[in-house]
Amino acid sequence: MSDAESSSELRRGVVTTLSTELATPSPFHFGFDIAPWFADALAAATRDCPVDRLVIFTDHQVFQRCGREIHDPLARRWPHVNIHLLPEDETTKTFAHLERACQRMVDLGITKRSLILALGGDSIGNVAGLVAGLTFRGIRFVDVPTTFTRQTDGSLSNKRTINSSCGKNHFGLYHAPLFVWSDAQYLLAEPVRVRRAGMVESIKNALVHETSFLPVLQRRLRADCEYTEAALSQLALATIRSKLSILRGDPTENRYGLVLEYGHTFAHALEWLAAGELLHGECVAIGMRLAARVAHRVGLIDQPLVDLHDELIADRLGLRPRLPPSIDGTVMLSTMRADNKRTTDAVRYVLLEGAGRCSNREGDYLVTVDDEIVRDVIDEFLQITEPPATKSAQAQCDERLHTAILQGLYESHREQVQRAPTANPSPR
């Protein structure tokens, strides 16, 4: 998608509708300043089964910032609109909050014709979707994401999860929204740290699948994370499209879609151990850099691709989070044994074998690696000190980007040639 095409789609008030590739349609509506049209969209989507009660799940800060423009038009159209407030961070994703929310739905008189609306970031979206999926074995819900992470990543997946006492996202289910309403105007109010962490998923999509997105990120990412309305909206829409290109072949993320978990085995352990000191995207950034080093150590990728990870994350995006001193390789490995992608007793990882290509040598896009190798990689990484980016580092990033893309395209072409059937000569 060119900048010109993106700009035409992102005029104020214009809604772009994308498919999330599910068998039962769950459209993704994206635009800038599109809140005035939300109530009409909801009425149209529920015309065949009108809503009797509507509950908005949100947190105090989000509601103060943008809740009224969603709530008030709904309250004028539907007589029973309630608000359920939750904490604004990962502490929301607990059985205690889930139980209270489910019980409140019953107390409010929710029926199979009711609807839950998630207004907020990933934690709100997870709990609201899980409550909707559990209540009476499933009622409708709509996702209105307000963060870069939620708009470009979490709202496109149908996984609704909470945490256990020993790790992230251990309990949950799949429950697709009736639709997603993604207004890029909400992204302007995000704190810079949160926005920067959200953009890590953009880099991830490019590295695991969408190599054509790498030059786009090279042009658009800013180390200060300050963007115009148009630039921020364009980057969000491009990231959404990059993830949809992966989901097109596996919308439930059970097969090839597992590549979207790149860096997340490390990240979930880091996030858990950091106990709120690090954001999810910051942990994914570290996780991808660790995954690249593991892949290099076992001979899957070369050093320039490892360096490309470092340059895109640390220099282009300006993300250099510091880990708590209590974390080391042994502690990380112990926590990763509770990873939610476990298929055996061993810890397994999504690893690259080239730009845009994840290793599938074990048949499920997960790779088993000896614990000692992983422990050594983690401990070595923790010793790294990162000076600020320099112009020479940016030039090196350009070279690594070019090399990685060319190598990825070459390998992809070679595989296609090897798979191609031998042509039979035509009869004369």
The residues annotated with a catalytic role in the active site are 159, 261
- Helix spans in 2-140 (H): 3-9, 38-45, 60-62, 68-77, 95-107, 122-134
Cβ contact 128:141 at 8 Å: yes
* H helices, E strands: number in the chain: 17, 13
Of 352, 351, 355, whose CA–CA distance to 403 is shortest?
355
What three-state secondary structure class fits 275?
Answer: coil
CB atoms inside a 10 Å sphere around CB 427:
4
- Helix, strand, coil percentages in the chain from 3-state DSSP, rounded to 5: 50, 10, 35
Distance of alpha carbon 399 from its chain centroid, rounded? 28
- Residues recorded for the chain: 428
Distance of alpha carbon 209 from its chain centroid, rounded? 14
- Which residues does 204 contact at the CB level (< 8 Å), separation at least 6? 260, 262, 263, 284, 288
Which tokens hold the place of 143? Answer: 């996702």
